């Protein structure tokens, strides 16, 4: 296992200062996010941080990733064909992703872009996860997320002609009993996001129906960090899609079990 990277106070202060000093970047990002429900925020995050997140994600998905091939009823039986890494396994075997998620600088950045206070996700398993599309036809099918915000770090991604790009339909409502995904895709304008390897984007995921277009070749590996609005901190939220997609298969150990056994 490679040496774990940790925050330094100087780097934290430097990133915070950089974000707060970029008035033009913040203003543009906030306007785009308000208009579209998604925005690229790569310019607000130092290249070194984006690089170390990508490196950790690629290492972890190779070592502890679990293959999933599912369809989920709560989103109209859309597919999830991928390899993924749970929050528990990331916390056990990594350091960068959890440190960035827990940083006050991260929530501060998201709050100024979103135009409202943004908080860590109250449902721990959903806080930060890794997904990889690696086989022809792999996709993270049409869905909404349980909480308002997702900060997505793209570690690797094929060119658009090989799939793996993000499609979304903003200003939609998730009725888990009757999701009507096919009707929304048919009747509404589908937006396409232009993001590639090394990019980071913020999306309002609880009201934006979205998917990753099936890949034809290559790989797409991302880190997804979930954040909540103030009203969601104590709200009753069901987690059927999350629990299906991220549960440990069969009788395998949890990430925490493996951590305890190796110490």
**pLDDT tens digits for range 169-188:** 999 999 888 999 999 999 99
Percent of the chain residues past pLDDT 70, beyond the cut: 84
Q: Is the pLDDT of residue 158 over 70?
A: yes
DSSP 42: G
CA–CA separation, 78 and 80 (whole Å): 7
Contact 116, 34 (CB under 8 A): no
Q: Using 50, 70 and 90 to split pLDDT, how confident is the model at 104?
A: confident
- Residue-wise burial string across 204-226, b where 16 or more C-beta atoms lie within 10 A, e elsewhere: bbbbbbbbbbbbeeebbbbbbbb
As a whole number, mean pLDDT of residues 202-214 equals: 96
Q: Is the pLDDT of residue 255 over 50?
A: no
pLDDT for res 242: 66
Q: Is the pLDDT of residue 2 over 60?
A: no
Query: Which residue spans within the chain are E strands per DSSP?
Result: 38-40, 66-72, 78-85, 119-120, 128-133, 139-143, 149-156, 166-169, 191-193, 200-204, 209-212, 220-228
Fold classification of 9-246+255-262 is Jelly Rolls (2.60.120)
Question: Does pTM top 0.85 for this prediction?
Answer: yes
Alpha helices (H) in 65-196, listed in sequence order: 87-93, 96-102, 104-114, 181-187
Residue located via tokens 């091939």: 69
Q: Is the pLDDT of residue 202 over 90?
A: yes
pLDDT for res 140: 94
Q: Is the pLDDT of residue 244 over 70?
A: no
Residue 228 Cα distances to 11, 36, 92, 129, 202, angstroms: 25, 18, 23, 15, 13
CA–CA separation, 158 and 196 (whole Å): 8
Q: Is the pLDDT of residue 118 over 50?
A: yes
Q: Is the pLDDT of residue 253 over 60?
A: no
**The tokens of 90 are what?**
């990331």
pLDDT for res 153: 98
Domain ranges of the chain: 9-246+255-262
As a whole number, mean pLDDT of residues 92-101 equals: 93
149-156 and 220-228 strand pairing: antiparallel
Q: 203: which residues sit within 8 A by CB, 6+ positions away?
A: 37, 38, 149, 150, 152, 168, 210
**pLDDT tens digits for range 69-92:** 988 888 888 999 999 999 999 999
């Amino acid at each position: 296992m490679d040496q774990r990277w940790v925050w330094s106070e100087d780097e934290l202060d430097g990133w915070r200062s950089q974000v707060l000093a970029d008035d033009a970047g913040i203003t543009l990002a906030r306007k785009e996010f308000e208009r579209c429900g998604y925005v690229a925020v790569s310019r607000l995050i130092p290249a070194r941080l984006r690089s170390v997140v990508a490196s950790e994600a690629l290492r972890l998905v190779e070592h502890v990733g679990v293959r999933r091939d599912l369809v989920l009823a709560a989103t109209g039986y859309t597919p999830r064909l991928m390899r993924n890494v749970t929050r528990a396994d990331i916390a056990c075997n990594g350091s960068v992703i959890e440190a960035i998620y827990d940083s006050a600088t991260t929530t501060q950045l998201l709050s100024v872009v979103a135009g409202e206070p943004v908080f860590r996700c109250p449902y721990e398993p959903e806080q930060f996860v890794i997904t990889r599309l690696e086989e022809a036809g792999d996709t993270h099918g049409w869905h909404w997320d349980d909480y308002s915000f997702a900060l997505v770090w793209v570690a690797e991604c094929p060119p658009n002609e090989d799939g793996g790009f993000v499609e979304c339909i903003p200003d939609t409502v998730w009725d888990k009993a009757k999701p009507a995904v096919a009707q929304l895709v048919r009747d509404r304008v589908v937006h396409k996001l232009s993001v590639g390897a090394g990019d980071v984007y913020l999306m309002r995921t609880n009201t934006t129906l979205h998917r990753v277009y099936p890949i034809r070749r290559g790989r797409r590996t991302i880190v997804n960090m979930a954040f909540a609005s103030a009203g969601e901190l104590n709200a009753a939220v069901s987690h059927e899609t999350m629990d299906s997609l991220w549960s440990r298969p069969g009788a395998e150990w949890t990430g925490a079990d493996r951590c305890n056994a190796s110490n």
